[in-house]
Chains A and B, each alone.
Chain A
């Protein structure tokens, strides 16, 4: 009996080891694809025509939708930075989603808002209608909408209804965009206007960076190790992973913190789904589904160059909440669109991207935790010896480290955003430390999120306790306070 259990445990250990191999090999393949893309991008650097786009009278105008909930301390800086973006024609639509702080007052004072009769055509059905509409006195293309609280997705839908332009850019109010970000993220719409329906920009961690007047002045590594590890994680998963998926024509996720969409199509598919906690990814999957069903040619593109900087959690408590929510969002998206998984009708999305997300994203925390437990039990029962256990862990974790360092190499060869040698050393240390505790904890939190999705527990965003950016700014540009999204 004991011997049978031992065989099962050893078999489980080998299976988990093979799984780790497969998952990391998948990452390595995506990193290789991203590297090819970056080399191509680098070679074309002198011929990308961003300056031409900036002065092109036919560049598609963009409505930036900025949903916000109690971001009083940072909202003025954020809006002012958005209004200073380099782009031929755009407007900023701020949606105050039932703010209970002084967000409106600070905006009104800063931009001298004038109330307009609230005429908003409801092209996307919304849960809560806008209560008032304001515009900035003077030439600033700013619209502020107030409404009762109904969640981020609904707030964005209200913003889309109030927007004027054919492209809508969804941005988080606590994000900091590079000055050229809009120009870069809109370029695919210029290059391939018939097919591009959505583009996403890369998200990086703003913690530790030197910030002035809502602009990143110097990129630095954060101080807390938990944030430093996330820098590496974002680099691997957001920058390189999504670039790889984009190159495969199978990008499933565009972060809500920075994504540009064709408004007519967003309206056509019914806008963001306020009942889904992973509403950004869900919208992209729904767009894929609609386009594939209609057999319309299209592209969803990830742009690695423009950067949206966001504050990542610096405490385990906030990080845990974020990861539970992400896992829950993924589970919901996969469940709602389960008919696409493995379905040849949806091409690469159905046959490659969605199965990958099921096997290597959704199931990963289960297998990771089960694998660790199996090793521990097998060691305790003597089914494997200590040397085998150690080698097992070294192989599993070593490959993860290899993938992280490979990501660092690509970053260094392409964007090299972290200029200080000290930050490079920190990045290497963070990539190593990530394997000891961090990965296992995030797997546990993901497991909890997936479990909550299975139990259909009511979704709660929770407060994102922000520690605030290190701002080099006048007193009125204080660090951002409490917010909801992370």
Chain B
């Protein structure tokens, strides 16, 4: 019984302690926020005014800031730097380097705590000097998945072609970085990524080859067309062919026409045919109209629907073929053709009276 009473007392004390903790935590947070705002807000305004007026010489004033105040201001400066380009960005990076931001980020990137390393990677990516990129290349192989992902994103943001090699290495299986992050980073680096990616089409790992094909399509590198056409050969693994077909469609390369027609008509599975059908729509070659119309008329449901959408992308000749199917075909083919036509013209309905005809048509 006494033990139970003691327990009640202990609980009451604990509840009281937690209540004090809640109040103290809120009070401390509000005070901290107010102090930070008071110290940072004027600096932020001053910096934005300088950037807006391109009065970069006025940045000199920030060099005299007390180290503690600069450190408080540093995240705002880095965040702004990441959004800028050109002279203003370079001036802020120089300012950061002079005030020790790079050193601090490099030091934090060796911290035992993953969160500190990840945040440091973001800062290094914004600063983007050779030293920062070298360190980021190492962080892209960090033991923590979060740090690796942050480093890969930062390499993309750095804008340095030196980042291409480590990024392509991060496409390898076992690198532990989601390929979407790597792809985005390579896309951010732009054209300088292309030679490395074209070379990666011959990489020993199939995953790297497939991802490289996909990224080349998104990058819009015309010089990659011959290599991608080669990757569409019948002796190539199916997955690579899928990615290469998709990339060729995105690139809109006329040389790809016959390969895509062949895959759309005689591809060995629906996925392959679907990608070829989509790609033919993007390619804009009018020779594709009869092939796509045939797929709408005879293809399986999902494939027929996509072929109808591709015909819409081929403008008037494609729509004429769809109108023909909508009136003469029967069953799902007719429905797909009608659906594609209604969908294609739905924008007109919003502003033009022509829409009522479409409604009647459906």
Q: Please report A residues at the B interface, Cβ cutoff 8 Å.
A: 40, 43-44, 46-47, 49, 52, 55-59, 112, 114-119, 121, 135-139, 190-193, 387-388, 391-392, 394-395, 398-399, 401-402, 405-406, 408-409, 412-413, 416, 421, 424, 428
Contact = CB atoms under 8 A, between A and B. Distances in A.
A59 B180 contact: yes
Interface in B322-352: 332, 335-336, 338-339, 342-343, 346-347, 349-350
B11 A402 contact: yes
Contacts of B293: none
A301 to B, nearest CB: 14
B118 A47 contact: yes
19 contacts: A43-B113, A44-B119, A44-B146, A46-B122, A57-B183, A57-B184, A57-B218, A58-B214, A114-B342, A117-B336, A117-B339, A119-B301, A190-B180, A190-B181, A191-B145, A193-B179, A388-B1, A399-B11, A428-B22
Interface residues of B, number: 57
B302 A52 contact: no
A56 B184 contact: yes
Interface stretch (B2-10, B43-51, B235-243, B256-264): B2-10
A409 B22 CA distance: 5
Interface in B1-27: 1, 4-5, 7-8, 11-12, 14-15, 18-19, 21-23, 25-26
Given A115-B359, A191-B178, A137 B21 contact: no
Contacts of B18: 402, 405-406, 408-409
A138 B302 CA distance: 24
A18 B179 CA distance: 50
A112 B19 contact: no
B342 A117 contact: yes
Given A119-B339, A394-B8, A409-B21, A114 B346 contact: yes
B contact face: mostly helix, strand, loop, or mixed: helix
Contacts of A421: 26
B12 A395 contact: no
Given A114-B358, A391-B8, A58 B184 contact: yes
A137 B346 contact: yes
Contacts of B26: 412, 416, 421, 424
B149 A191 contact: yes
A202 B119 CA distance: 26
Given A43-B119, A193-B178, A388-B4, 17 more contacts: A46-B119, A47-B115, A57-B187, A58-B179, A117-B342, A119-B305, A119-B339, A121-B302, A136-B346, A137-B349, A138-B349, A190-B180, A191-B146, A191-B178, A394-B8, A398-B8, A405-B15
Given A47-B146, A391-B5, A52 B153 contact: yes
B156 to A, nearest CB: 8
A392 B150 CA distance: 53
Contacts of B122: 46-47
A373 to B, nearest CB: 20
A49 B1 contact: no
B359 A135 contact: no
